[in-house]
Structure 1
Amino acid sequence: MNTSEALRALAEISSGQWGMATTSQARSIQVSRVQIARLAESGHLERLAHGVYRDAGSPPHEFDDIRAAWLSLDPDRMADDRIRDGVDGIVMSGNTAAALHGIGDLLPTPYVFTSAARRQSQRPDIRFKRRLLVADQITLVAGIPTTGIERTIADLVQDKEDLSLVGDLVGDALRSRTVQLDYLAALLGPLASRNGFTKDDGLALMRKLLELGHVDVATQIQRVLSNPAWRSATSPADAAERSGTLAKPIEALRTARSDDDIRSVQALVKDVNSLQSLATQSQEPNAD
């Protein structure tokens, strides 16, 4: 197989894998390791990790190294097939999941993966956690199966990450997206006693994380009021009336820490995300 033929064959694989292919996948289409090495030497391929190469003509991405690490863990199989593994597959988690979600200040390395079966890697920058996940705890981020926000936070607490860093992560998450706080509290319940709270009191542990992340109801209300979606998604009269209603309890809620507070924060965050969606839709040109 000459160079052009090898590149065309590799493109059929890499086109569905962010421009990447493994040497095992290449071998299955009769592209040898020697040919791969020569293509890398000539600048056609870029080596990202042991046994993982990227088409040099494909656009680079900030998560290329993470994607390459995930591909390297089951190099014979295509990404699409592995994504369908669901809870039985290899899922990005912990600090790496937080980096993929774009929350907190944790470094993505070492790369942390969760799987139901016991696994290990010879790479010093890859760690495995053996945990059972359910389907709604897994989402796709940058095309990689990744633990959702709530599961990621709970995993970091379980892995004894510094609570102040986890709190920062919670604050970032709440300020940028919807977080199911009741679900997070449930996941934190089994971890409460080891962190100095009453057994199974996940709500108390979550309140601590919210405090460390500088999140309170007043902050969330101010976020709603300052969002331009209030006026772009509603009539001026309605927006003013709803803003006034939200503004009244700000001072009273600044120091509140009740269960109702937690639910209020969640409801307000949902309001903001709904308004942002409405605002986006209102700015899109009407389709004929």
Structure 2
Amino acid sequence: MRAVDALEVLELLGSTQRGLVTTAQARESGLSGVDLSRLTDSSKLLRVRHGVYALPSAGADRLQDLRGAWLAASANGDVVVSGASAAVVHGLGDLVPAAHEFTASVRRQSTLPDLRFHRAELSDDDVTVVDGLPVTTVVRTAADLAASLLDSDHLAGVLSAGVENLDVDVEELAQALSPYAARYGFDSGRALLAEVAPGYVAAAIGSAVRTAVTRSPQFRKQALKLLAEPDGAKTLLSFLEERLAS
């Protein structure tokens, strides 16, 4: 196949995959190994990892290697980015995964040293999509890392970032951590979060206030009335401080 035609076919394939294609996908579309070699030798393709190539349209992507690993792994069945790899995707803490981690509903193995598979049943609530990758949610990721006995310092970094995420229900996070709290010397997920994640208490209060505003028209009415007054926000804060201190 002519190089220009081959590249056009590949770009169409990679248009929904952030500019990445697999060898298997290329062959299914009529390209040969020789076609891929020629495009690679002429720098039209960049080999990201075994069986995965980046097209000129790929551009810069901090998750490119992980994305390539996921593409290759998902060819043999659905897999979800999880564990330390999921923490990286979410920007939780400063973990540097030794391998790309994925979870599948069936047992998976790999001879590649940079791939690690876990077997677990994930519900729809356990999975979200970030930058085009299916990944365990912040709550599920934190719980999985706690279950794996991640060291306390790194877990603290993960949890501190997690409670700062406005999309995270901090009470749901606390409940998910509770089964593993004793391993870190705490009697509950709340106690664990309160100790290692400085923003937890503020986030929990904020969550409670948001819930009250959403569910209680009377609370919302009184809060709006107070905020409309001069220094209303300070008055509301003072009220909360007095109630919490009593």
Return closer, same or farther for 1:218/1:72 CA change in 2, 3 Å cut-off: closer
Asked if 1:32 corresponds to 2:7, the answer is no
1:151-199 residue CA offsets vs partner (Å, 9 max, x unmatched):
000000001101232122111122232322232233223324444445x
1:190 is paired with a residue of what secondary structure?
Answer: helix
Q: Report SS of the residue matched to 1:73.
A: helix
Partner of 1:98: 87
Residue aligning to 1:201: none
- TM-score, normalised to structure 2's length? 0.82
Contact 1:96 1:109 in 2 (8 A): no
Is residue 246 from structure 1 mapped to residue 237 from structure 2 by the alignment?
yes
Kept in 2, the 8 Å contact 1:139–1:147? The answer is yes
Contact 1:218 1:250 (C-alpha < 8 Å) held by counterparts: no
- Of 235-244 and 27-36, more deviation after overlay is shown by 235-244
Is 1:165 paired with 2:154? yes
Distance (whole Å) between structure 1 residues aligned to residue 94 and residue 111 of structure 2: 27
1:127 to 113, 116, 136: 116
Q: Which amino acid aligns with 2:26?
A: A
Gaps of 5+ in 1: 77-81, 83-88, 199-203, 223-233, 257-288
Aligned to 1:282: none
Give the CA deviation at 1:239.
8.4
User: Residue 164 of structure 1 contacts residue 213 of structure 1 at CA under 8 Å; is this kept in 2?
Assistant: no
SS at match of 2:193: helix
- List aligned pairs for 1:1-288, cutoff 5 A: 1-75=1-75, 89-198=78-187, 204-217=188-201, 237=228, 240-250=231-241
Q: 1:215 to 1:17 in 2, by over 3 A?
A: same
Q: Distance in 2 between matches of 1:239 and 1:177?
A: 28
- CA, structure 1 residues 45+216, in 2 after alignment: closer, same or farther (shift >3 Å)? closer
Q: Pairwise CA RMSD of aligned residues?
A: 2.7
Distance 1:247 1:219, change over 3 A: farther
Q: d(CA) in 1 for partners of 2:230 and 2:109?
A: 55
1:170–1:210 contact (8 Å) kept in structure 2: no
Aligned partners of 2:160 and 2:200 also within 8 Å:
no
Instruction: Note if contact 2:48-2:54 (Cα within 8 Å) is conserved in structure 1.
Output: yes
Report SS of the residue matched to 2:17.
coil
Q: Structure 2: any 5+ residue segments left out of the alignment?
A: 207-223
Preserved CA contact (<8 Å) 1:164 1:209? no
The CA deviation string for residues 73-118 of structure 1, in whole angstroms up to 9 with x for no partner, is: 1347xxxxx7xxxxxx211111111110112111144111111100
Q: CA deviation at 1:42?
A: 0.3
Instruction: State percent identity of aligned pairs.
Output: 36
Distance 2:50 2:240 in 1: 57
Q: TM-score, normalised by structure 1?
A: 0.71
- Give the secondary-structure state (helix, strand or coil) at the position aligned to 1:146: strand
How far 1:72 moved relative to its partner?
A: 1.0
CA change 1:135–1:248 in 2 (3 A) is: same
Tell me the number of residue pairs that the alignment of Structure 1 and Structure 2 aligns. Answer: 228
